[in-house]
């Protein structure tokens, strides 16, 4: 099983727009990442996203390229607890993508990879993707690869 963790693309500042949609650069970066993932043959059963506009927009762009379903999920906000995801992700069989925020994504990656959400193993940037993989039905996760928008 592969888990693709994605930080939303670059968003406007809260002062410029309280809804914080993606900037022009943010949209461009996410479109480039979607093209890269599609070219690599990546396909996920679902793309989950938080309720925040910047995550919705990122999920829609990526999901249209590589996902069968785009779904709003509770529990993906910046400060939501990550431990509730352990059982869900450790028993899942099909590949999935999560589009979210910091510090949530960094804490979830650390929990899965090191068993400690404060380890800060993976550093995210807007529009970046980290691919974690779990062999068979075990609970051992490894970092397969990471990709930054400027490198696609």
Report pLDDT digits (tens) over 76-118.
999 999 999 998 999 999 999 999 999 999 999 999 999 999 9
Q: Is a pLDDT exceeding 90 seen at residue 139?
A: no
pLDDT value of position 143:
96
CA 152 to CA 138: how far, in whole Å? 31
φ, ψ for residue 76 (rounded to 5)?
-115, 15
Cβ neighbors of 57 (< 8 A, separation 6 or more) are 8, 9, 21, 22, 27, 30
In three-state secondary structure terms, 68 is: coil
pTM of the model: 0.96
Q: Omega before 103 cis (within 30°)? A: yes
Q: Which domains, from first to last, does the chain contain?
A: 2-12+19-151 (3.40.50.1240)
């Amino acid at each position: 099983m592969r888990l693709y963790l994605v930080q939303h693309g670059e968003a406007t500042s809260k002062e410029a727009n309280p809804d914080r949609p993606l900037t022009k650069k943010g949209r461009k970066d996410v479109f480039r990442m979607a093209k890269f993932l599609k070219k690599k043959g990546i396909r996920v059963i679902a793309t989950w996203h938080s309720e925040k506009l910047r995550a919705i927009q990122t999920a829609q762009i990526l999901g249209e390229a590589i996902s069968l379903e785009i779904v709003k999920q509770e529990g993906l906000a910046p400060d939501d607890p990550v431990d509730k995801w352990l059982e869900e992700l450790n028993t899942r069989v099909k590949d999935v993508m999560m589009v979210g925020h910091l510090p949530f994504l960094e804490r979830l990656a650390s929990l899965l990879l090191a068993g400690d959400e404060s380890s800060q193993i993976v550093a995210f940037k807007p529009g970046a993707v980290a691919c974690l993989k779990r062999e068979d039905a075990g609970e051992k996760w490894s970092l397969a690869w990471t990709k930054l928008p400027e490198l696609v």
